[in-house]
Amino acid sequence: GAVVSQHPSRVICKSGTSVKIECRSLDFQATTMFWYRQFPKQSLMLMATSNEGSKATYEQGVEKDKFLINHASLTLSTLTVTSAHPEDSSFYICSARESGGQETQYFGPGTRLLVL
Amino acid sequence: QKEVEQDPGPLSVPEGAIVSLNCTYSNSAFQYFMWYRQYSRKGPELLMYTYSSGNKEDGRFTAQVDKSSKYISLFIRDSQPSDSATYLCAMSPNNAGNMLTFGGGTRLMVKP
């Protein structure tokens, strides 16, 4: 089946630093990848949609200058949380849509970010 | 009112029970319906994918969609402790790959 990986799985950083999270589709090509954020005991909230080779589309209320998304290849998208603050602590999950496939989204295992 | 409503639970059942999980929605444009299972501190895993109304069965899982009532269900037969997780419904108006709207998730606990 379609496998999506994320790295790192967990990261702890100091306030003010930047953190990069990678999302990879391991056995398929993904023209579209999605970034979600999930707070404890809450559902996933879509942050942005990224298409390979073009700028990401951000959801309302998501700061594009704070959450930088790059989708440089058909198998890799990155989310960089710039100048992280404690309120950015959350579970970040990416998903990828298989090009020409069943059109469903396959999710990565998530990255837990803790900003001290 | 949220677009997709889902009882958060927790729902606790004994091993072997039939579990019924449900979502209601308000947007009649939704055409694609999915159920995801999410274990604690893990990403969601796609369980079932259904287009429009009807039933779909896969092993111990059955998904039902009633578009006239804007109501979808996931049934789990012979529930196992390993089924203990949060179940998220998701739906989309155009195709299952874009614009997913998630329910809040129902936490299920299957006790041995």
- Best B48, B100, B101, B109 member to test A by mutation, with max A CBs in 10 Å, is B100
pLDDT at A111: 97
Record: contact B88-A44, CB cut-off 8 A: yes
The CB-side HSE value for A30 (13 A sphere, CA atoms) comes to 31
Q: In 3-state terms, what secondary structure has residue A8?
A: coil
Spatial separation of the C-alpha atoms in residues A111 and A104, rounded to whole Å: 21
B58 burial level (CB within 10 Å; 0-12, 13-18, 19+): exposed
Hey, are the CB atoms on B43 and A103 less than 8 Å from each other? no
- Token reading at B64: 């039902």
Residue contact B43–A108, C-beta within 8 A: yes
CA A54 to mean position of chain CA atoms: 16
Q: Which residues in B lie closer than 8 A to residue A37 (C-beta atoms)?
A: none
Q: What is the dihedral of CA A53, A89, B6, A34, to 10 degrees?
A: 10
Interface residue of B7, B25, B33, B46 to substitute, partner A, most A CBs within 10 Å: B46
Q: Please report residues of A whose CB lies closer than 8 A to that of B49.
A: 102, 104
Whether residue A107 and residue B43 make contact (CB cut-off 8 A), yes or no, is: yes
Q: Which of A59, A111, A76 is nearest to A90 (CA)?
A: A111
pLDDT at A101 over 60: no
Cα first-last separation, chain A: 37
pLDDT tens, A41-55?
Answer: 788 899 999 988 888
Contacts of A60 (CB under 8 A, 6+ apart): none
- pLDDT, one tens digit per residue, over B26-85 is 999 999 999 999 998 889 999 998 888 889 999 999 999 999 999 999 999 999 999 999
